[in-house]
Chain A
Amino acid sequence: MKSQKTLVNMWTHNGASGVQSETIDLTYSPPRNDKKRRRQNSELQSVSSKKQAQWVSSAFGDFGDFADVSTSTQGQKAKNSSRSKNVTSKPDNPLQQAQQICRGAGIERGPPKNSKRRPQNDMELWSDKYAPKSQSDLAVHKKKISEVESWLQVHLTAKRKVNIIGFFVEYYSFLPIALLTGPAGVGKTATIKVLAKELKCDIKEWINPIATEYNKDFQNMSDFSKVEGYTSESQLSQFQQFLLRANKYNNLGIFGEESCSKKLILVEDFPNIFFRDASLFHDIIRKYSKVGSCPLIFIVSDSTSGESNERLLFPKDLQQQLHIENISFNPVALTSMTKVLTKIAQVESSQGTHKFTVPSRNVIESLAMSSAGDIRGAINALQFACLKDTGDLTWGSSVKENKKSIKKSSSKDNFKGKMSKEKSCETSASVESDLAAIGGRDTSLFLFRALGKVLYCKSKYWTWTIIETTYDDVVEKSHLSGDYFSAYLHQNYLEFYSELSDVERAADYLSDSDNLTVEWASRSVLQQYAAAVATRGLIHSNSARARFSSGGSGLGWKPLHKPQWYSVMKQARQNCDSARCLFKNYAKPPEVLQTEILPYISLINTTLHNPGQIAFIQDICKFSSSRFPGRSEKLDEKDVVPEDSLETDQQQQSVSDLKKVDNELKSDDTITNSQSKVKTGAEEEGEEEEFVIEEFDD
């Protein structure tokens, strides 16, 4: 652990003394020793992952590490950020430089201004070194940039003014708030920083303060409040203060930078308390939206596991209420990523401290692909790959050897839906480990894809064995409990069936799967089996699909839905509870109350005195007049499934529909791909180009 920590130091520390000895550490090890090298890899990865964890908007509350890094790098900075005034006053403020280096999700940046202070050494991460300087450097898609830019332009120039007399010069009825979402490392922060620079406006960024320590003993607890300098503020109030101050005051201009009138507040690092109680955050934002005038930008990274922070912090009703503009970023396109990587490699090989040959195009491409659109990860992987003592690692050769298969499987794994390892099962295992060695991303399946994999599956006798091995994997990778996964399957399976006898069998399998988890004590163990029964049952009982497969064309695209069961049950529970509370004086068992008393009360027109009772009776005894009540919320491609994801995405519907069409193309694509032979390189190119287009709706 200690070495890891020093490594962290090493990576963030810019050329201070004492680093050299540790650098030797790295290059020291005998290059032939495979085991050791593997460990090095993992160490390096853990370093980069740690850095990523820091970047990904502190969703993990990994405070200790962050504290470690920053306190050891610059005590001054730590002190500074421990106060509430940790405002990034200007990008080239020397104090903030370090912060920026820590978080630049950048692509390209020239040598820093005060580079004379820092001896040229390659301990700097390339992703920081080459952070983008101008719009043209950004690897983000042009349209996305212009979308953000126009938003910024509109809201920076327009002042929110309410004139007392009644003349509104420029008046926005709401405070501009933007929410940038997207996977980690696609350049959300970089885009904002670059654009802010170009539009000449200040970014005031919130960074979680490090908790102040009490070095005073608590003897004088009684006059605690009087002790100066040791009053602690909660992160919450600090955050509130920050918003207020950043909104109110301009830069002092102490560091000689010209103070500009335009500014925006950036929050990427949410105080941890908000993840526990999002309503606090909502309150603050609502409050701010009333008093504030300065545009507010939030950046939230997508995550595949656990609760989605976006849903937690920005529920749809809040977004609508405050008119929050939601701009979602897509993974960086393969072509632009390759371009950037090549450029960096060339610059670095000619100017860098140590010599290396520019990696071949194939290598760069495979790097780009394995990073799954995470450009920061890709650059870090490139840097690692170009280290002089890792040049002879086996991955290079294996990449060349299996070039085709890597291309196929990785593009599938990461871009197209991470689908179907049916084809190259035996190669993909080795390929996967190779990619992992050069910093590939964990290939977790988005739920959407996992479902598609089961529902669109064509059970063919010759893929039998492969199905047997892969489908437990699917459930596992979808990050869901088997229980929940089968609920998703249940919600969606009917549309994929055309024969009633198949449905009968499938429904029976689902019933079986639920029956397996009857015993509470053994539920956790049996859940996996239950999910397996459900998945396989659904795949195998669909005889129609099997027939389709020979023809090659699947049934058309079907939108996927979220399971209604949970929301229905929640609603039912709520109704039961309110029935019990409201009609307490009838003192009947719930079943009698709900099936007999209440319906008849509504028929009898009993005079009820409580308005709540009246409303409830009307609500509960009305059945929707339409013959078939509507269906549930559709499932978004990127959706991660929190237990309480019951908010509706009405406005996103259209967008997600588009996405789904895309995805359908993709998934169909993949399925056919898996059957067809390996394509030639040229075809491959064409296909990837096509992809880019699909991805961004050009």
Chain B
Amino acid sequence: MSLWVDKHRPNSLQKLDYHKEQASHLKKLVNGGDFPHLLVYGPSGAGKKTRIMCLLRELYGSGVEKLRIEQNTFTTPSNKKLEISTISSNYHIEVNPSDVGNNDRVVIQELIKTVAQVNQLESASQKDFKVVILTEVDRLSKDAQHALRRTMEKYMATCRLILCCNSTSKVIPAIRSRCLGVRVAAPTIDEIAQILQNTCKKESLNLPVDLARKIAEKSNRNLRRALLMSEACRVQQYPFSPDQEVTEPDWELYLKETAGLIIQQQSPKRLLEVRARIYELLTHCIPPDVIIRGLLQELITNCDGQLKCEVVEAAAYYEHRLQLGQKAIYHLEAFIAKFMAIYKRFFEEGIADLF
């Protein structure tokens, strides 16, 4: 049994539920014959990948749906073996180069070269190019991005790139200008609620409107999350009741609990305990930037207007450092210490004002 997210994924441009105008543009693009490189960007869970797959299907027909997962090996100039898994069909190959960390440049160059060197069979009946999908382009090293620039031009004849990322701010302008940007905005809450209900109908379940809205609101306009949440709700309780609790993943609860601990008491001892909990989160593969964002969201709800500004500023400051630096825990801890200090000072002043 696959997840609803995968099971009910629309597979053609016509079937897409929202941004229909964009879908029709994409269709025109395919039919126009001159297909450029694409840079698809938008928040997580907005349906970028879905849209790309629909586009591919439009390009090549149902052949692109025969996917195979392969393990490719590349060798760096320093003779280091890199293993990376790719998903490919006869017409396209998808890879997440950031899986290999710093050596992403090698992967990109080698992969595109091998794909581009093989021409499409029967080019008369089909498009004469293949497609390489690179995901998480915003996590590519600068090195790799510059390498990509040259490769894109060189193999234009036989291959097109579809780059996929959350934000273009980390993509170098040279690449941005070589691609047609396609922004996939997050669906609105109404759209999500509608989609949830449709999906449930397909599963022959009855999802109350209120619950669908509730889930949609909780999902942060992330459709994938919304679908996962509703499926979790289904497991938790069926038939649905409109006022039922929306299930959240354990790590989020844990993070919220941690934020609660910070609010509860501000002392070095508590900081030490919080640190242990953050380590726990990190070992469970929760990225540090997600942690700091989650913490901020929870902490800010307990702050007054004037405090909010200060806290957010601190969070932004340390989040930036965290992205740059090597030891995320230093910055996470510095942020928490800072918050504790701000919060405590605020309270002490408040009490002083009272008397």
Contact = CB atoms under 8 A, between A and B. Distances in A.
Given A599-B251, A604-B232, A629 B290 contact: no
B210 interface: no
Interface in A305-331: none
Contacts of B44: 591-592
Q: How large is the interface on A (under 10, 10 to 19, 20 to 34, 35 or more residues)?
A: 35 or more
Nearest to B136: A589
Contact of B338 (A504, A607, A621): A504
A594 B284 CA distance: 8
Contacts of A564: 279
Given A569-B282, A604-B3, A605-B235, A621 B249 contact: yes
B217 interface: no
B334 A510 contact: yes
Interface stretch (A42-50, A68-76, A456-464, A570-578): A570-578
Contact of B318 (A511, A585, A620): A511
A507 B284 contact: no
Q: Say what secondary structure dominates the interface of chain A.
A: helix
Contacts of B45: 592, 596
Interface string A282-323: 000000000000000000000000000000000000000000
B268 A604 contact: no
Contact of A494 (B98, B275, B283): B275
Given A495-B272, A500-B341, A604-B231, A487 B284 contact: no
Interface stretch (B104-112, B176-184, B321-329): B321-329
Contacts of B9: none
Contacts of B261: 627
Interface in B259-284: 261, 266-269, 271-273, 275-277, 279-280, 282-284
B286 A601 contact: no
Interface string A576-587: 100110001111
Contacts of B85: 580, 584
Interface stretch (B21-29, B55-63, B113-121, B222-230): B222-230
Nearest to A630: B276
Contacts of A599: 249-252
A568 interface: yes
A622 interface: yes
Contacts of A490: 327, 329-330, 333
B93 interface: no
A217 B135 CA distance: 58
Contact of B285 (A483, A501, A517, A575): A575
A249 to B, nearest CB: 46
A487 B250 contact: no
B287 A591 contact: yes
B232 A603 contact: yes
A592 B224 contact: yes
A600 interface: yes
Contact of A589 (B96, B324, B325, B337): B96
Contacts of A506: 337
A507 B279 contact: no
A393 interface: no
A625 B92 CA distance: 45
Contacts of B287: 591, 594-595
B309 interface: no
A622 B337 contact: no
Interface string B240-251: 000000010111
B99 interface: yes
B224 A628 contact: no
A572 B291 CA distance: 14
A619 to B, nearest CB: 9
Contacts of A600: 3, 228-229, 231-232, 249
B191 interface: no
Contacts of B280: 623-624, 629
Interface string A477-513: 0000001000100100011011111011011101101
A594 B235 contact: no
The 7 A-B residue pairs with the shortest CB-CB distance in the complex, in nearest-first order: A599-B249, A600-B228, A507-B334, A511-B334, A507-B337, A594-B285, A504-B341
Interface of B: 1-3, 6, 44-45, 69, 85, 87, 94, 96, 98-99, 135-136, 222, 224-225, 228-229, 231-232, 235-236, 247, 249-252, 254, 261, 266-269, 271-273, 275-277, 279-280, 282-287, 290, 318, 321, 324-327, 329-331, 333-334, 336-338, 340-341, 344
Interface of A: 483, 487, 490, 494-495, 497-501, 503-504, 506-508, 510-511, 513-515, 517-518, 564-565, 568-569, 571-572, 575-576, 579-580, 584-587, 589-592, 594-597, 599-607, 620-624, 627-631
27 contacts: A490-B327, A494-B272, A499-B268, A503-B341, A504-B337, A507-B336, A508-B337, A514-B321, A514-B326, A518-B326, A565-B329, A575-B284, A580-B85, A585-B69, A587-B87, A590-B285, A591-B44, A591-B287, A595-B249, A600-B229, A600-B249, A602-B250, A620-B285, A623-B280, A628-B273, A629-B279, A630-B276
